Structure 1
Amino acid sequence: MPVISTSVLRNAALGAAGAAVAGIGYASLIERNAFVLREATLPVLEPGKPSLRVLHLSDLHMTPGQQLKQAWVRELDRLEPDLVVNTGDNLAHPKAVPSVVQSLGGLLARPGIFVFGSNDYFAPVPKNPMKYFKKDHKRVFGDPLPWQDMRAAFTERGWLDLTHVRRDIEVAGVRISTAGVDDPHLKRDRYDTVAGAPNPLADLSIGLTHSPEPRVLDRFADDNYDLVMAGHTHGGQLCLPFYGALVTNCGIDRSRVKGASRWGAHTQLHVSAGLGTSPWAPYRFCCRPEATLLTLVSAPPKKPIAESDRGITASATVAR
């Protein structure tokens, strides 16, 4: 058996340590601030309707000193979206509300809808990262955050708080039936308060939740919502090449940790990887911080109902 010299082992250990330090430096100093705009097209509108541009923002986890992030978010208004959707976790500091409001800037003058996340209510705290691999780990909450001040700033400028509320709105000539729940990550969701099919006269239906927990997604899908939007996952935050996210921090599988996917027979799900991180875990790897510009277009015409099925379908509609 060949003998490996001490110097070789020492050099190998130093090389591994150097690679680890370089990886941490890249994840915390470079990729965490390498903001990117994703774009996707979703066929969810009624046939014949004009396309709709929807900007999806989530998980800013803002602190007052994050000037680079604030400047990047402020520039998003140039996209001129028809609708802005914010799926929570905007705050990471008790004095961050002005920074969030100033960053959103002109976007607050556009039609917008939002729900809250856990880090709108409570400040982040240091955690053992291994706990994320246990879905039943005990939650630890920090000091309360001024979510009421942020809500007031949003609603005073016209954005709609969809926390356990159903609202019908019209945006760019498209009638939208909307509903939302409070954060399932904190077990604050009360879907029964918004349960039921969306307005059948609407051209589009959108459901909002911060954490994409299957129990909530199932309810939206059962009620036949066209699109459900969520955040919370950070896209995994730490991902591996050719493997993807290590964890989702919720009940969905890793393949749905970010981007668009189908949930159920009819509903499209869009999960944002978000723009921030906890101040106690300031790194991203193979998972750049993002906002998403969704172009919603007409869905293909639904398959005609067979003659033999028409009576059954009509009967079910009347019963509903």
Structure 2
Amino acid sequence: MTSRPTAHPALIALGAVGAAGAAAAIWGIGIERYLFTVREATASALAPGSAPLRVLHVSDAHMAPWQHRKQDWLASLAQLKPDLVINTGDNLGHREGLEGIRRAFEPFVGIPGVFVHGSNDVNGPAPRNPIRYFAGPSQRHREPTFLDTDAMDSFFTDELGWTDLNNRAARLSVAGNPVDFFGVSDAHRHWDRLEDLPGAIQSLGPQDAGTSVLGVTHAPYQRVMNRFVELGADAIFGGHTHGGQVCLPGFGALVANCDIPLKQAKGLSTWTQDERTVPLNVSAGCGHSIYAPVRFACRPEATLLTLTARD
């Protein structure tokens, strides 16, 4: 009687790890990055007596012209009939990305909206080593490719009727509610000019009774959110983090690419500054760089956030 040689336990373990890695890659690259979802939440943030506002928060589309599934999904969100759209940037992911952005957002004509820039609304994406994100927020070292930011802004403002909040403030009536907004351009690139906001807010004039205040940023850095609370924001909206993009099931984000605590890298939480606490919604976004086409344990998303009056 002869015996067959058995595989070494180390080889068995190595094969199992390799198979698990391959399965994870297939899931993250081929499946999950197309599993678009709408996350719904409610937060008390509006001035007492205000009617509820349904806010559609979209972010980080990183659009390329061939990404038709993402374009169709974003366009379908108009059927939710939000009262307001907040777009926290990084819309473009390719030189011709505006073609896809037009197709995605044209159904929102007539719905009030506000937007700020992320770096990928100005500079095109570039290949990067993903391991470097574990060393801290990314840095740009190569000469950037400039995108047609002016054309994108013109589409948003002139065709959709949205309001540019890049280092600016604005006053709108949204579903009958008076709402003041202020925002900054991408803090990750240090394009935020927080020192300009007090003057911009003052230029709006005295607030009407019952006015709510919303702060909008692409990158939710602590310095930005602290200043927003100091300036009177009743709620803060941010993006940029991709929710970690590749997460550990049961743990969450491993990196956020900014200094926000990892547990707040996506979803609805709160932010406290000077003993004042306000809702904070960080979108995990619905896209990814064309050089990193993967999502794992972090589905692409938009948020339908219902804001209600504070007691």
TM over 0.5: yes
Between the aligned partners of 1:90 and 1:137, the Cα distance in structure 2 is 18
With 14-23 and 76-85 compared, the bigger mean Cα shift is at 14-23
Between the aligned partners of 1:136 and 1:161, the Cα distance in structure 2 is 26
> In the alignment, is residue 37 of structure 1 matched against residue 38 of structure 2?
yes
> In the alignment, is residue 171 of structure 1 matched against residue 174 of structure 2?
yes
Kindly provide the CA deviation profile for residues 245-292 of structure 1, in whole angstroms up to 9, marking residues without a partner as x.
101110110111011121112322110000001111111111100000
With 215-224 and 193-202 compared, the bigger mean Cα shift is at 193-202
The letter for the 2-side match of 1:154 is F
> In the alignment, is residue 283 of structure 1 matched against residue 294 of structure 2?
yes
Distance 1:297 1:136, change over 3 A: closer
Between the aligned partners of 2:124 and 2:293, the Cα distance in structure 1 is 15
8 Å contact kept, 1:115–1:181? yes
The letter for the 2-side match of 1:234 is H
8 Å contact kept, 2:137–2:258? no
Query: 1:238 is matched with which residue?
Result: 246
* Structure 2 spans left out of the alignment, 5+ residues: none
> In the alignment, is residue 118 of structure 1 matched against residue 129 of structure 2?
no
Query: 1:314 is matched with which residue?
Result: none
Between the aligned partners of 1:8 and 1:120, the Cα distance in structure 2 is 51
With 192-201 and 103-112 compared, the bigger mean Cα shift is at 192-201
Q: Secondary structure at the match of 1:194?
A: helix
8 Å contact kept, 1:258–1:272? yes
Query: 1:304 is matched with which residue?
Result: none
Query: 1:272 is matched with which residue?
Result: 283
8 Å contact kept, 1:125–1:140? no
8 Å contact kept, 1:211–1:250? yes
The letter for the 2-side match of 1:293 is L
Query: 1:203 is matched with which residue?
Result: 211
The letter for the 2-side match of 1:240 is L
- Report matched runs for 1:296-307 at 5 Å: 296-300=307-311
- Report matched runs for 1:127-166 at 5 Å: 127-135=128-136, 138-140=139-141, 142-157=144-159, 158-166=161-169
Kindly provide the CA deviation profile for residues 176-226 of structure 1, in whole angstroms up to 9, marking residues without a partner as x.
011111100101100111127775425210111100000111100111210
Distance 1:13 1:66, change over 3 A: same
The letter for the 2-side match of 1:147 is T
The letter for the 2-side match of 1:292 is T
Kindly provide the CA deviation profile for residues 30-77 of structure 1, in whole angstroms up to 9, marking residues without a partner as x.
110100000010101122221111100000011011111111111000
TM-score calculated relative to the size of structure 1: 0.89
Query: 1:86 is matched with which residue?
Result: 87
Note the C-alpha offset of 1:243. 1.1
Between the aligned partners of 2:251 and 2:174, the Cα distance in structure 1 is 39
TM-score calculated relative to the size of structure 2: 0.91
Aligned pair count reads 297
Q: Secondary structure at the match of 1:151?
A: helix
Q: Secondary structure at the match of 1:109?
A: coil
The letter for the 2-side match of 1:123 is G
8 Å contact kept, 2:93–2:125? yes
* Correspondent of 2:189 among 183, 186, 191: 186
With 148-157 and 192-201 compared, the bigger mean Cα shift is at 192-201
Between the aligned partners of 1:77 and 1:299, the Cα distance in structure 2 is 27
Between the aligned partners of 1:26 and 1:145, the Cα distance in structure 2 is 31
Q: Secondary structure at the match of 1:38?
A: strand
8 Å contact kept, 1:113–1:161? yes
Note the C-alpha offset of 1:7. 4.4
> In the alignment, is residue 254 of structure 1 matched against residue 262 of structure 2?
yes
Note the C-alpha offset of 1:13. 2.1
8 Å contact kept, 1:224–1:267? no
Between the aligned partners of 1:79 and 1:212, the Cα distance in structure 2 is 26
Query: RMSD of the alignment, in Å?
Result: 1.6
Between the aligned partners of 1:6 and 1:172, the Cα distance in structure 2 is 68
Between the aligned partners of 2:184 and 2:49, the Cα distance in structure 1 is 30
* Structure 1 spans left out of the alignment, 5+ residues: 301-320
With 4-13 and 94-103 compared, the bigger mean Cα shift is at 4-13
